Amino acid sequence: MFLTRLGYGIIYFFDLIYEIIKSTIAVAWGGVIKGDIDPVVMDIETVLERPVSQTILANSISLTPGTLSVDLDSENRIIKVATISPREKEDIIPFEPYIKKMME
């Protein structure tokens, strides 16, 4: 059990680094060079039930360039996220399954 959670923690870490690099390139190209900025604030519903898991997800969103976690409603499992351009839920929280398997 511990090794499985540790394995998902390692996968989560590398996926987070990958998403940070990918978002940095996307923000630099789309936001700075092309000027495609259309800020939006959206509510993202999460499947994570534990507040610590939700907090890790919210902090991971804020670490990724172009996104910022504005509010976390743990009871309703909703994270309010500000993005510099409209995106799909899967593009904002691609590491949610790893956090679920690691923490819950």
Residue 97 is part of which domain span?
Answer: 2-103
Of 84, 72, 99, nearest to 23 by C-alpha is 84
Task: Express each pLDDT in 5-39 by its tens digit.
Answer: 999 999 999 999 999 999 999 999 887 788 888 89
Task: Express each pLDDT in 60-104 by its tens digit.
Answer: 999 999 999 999 999 999 999 999 988 898 889 999 999 999 998
Number of domains in the chain: 1
Q: Is 66 helix (H, G, I), strand (E, B) or coil?
A: coil
CA distance 3 to 70: 33
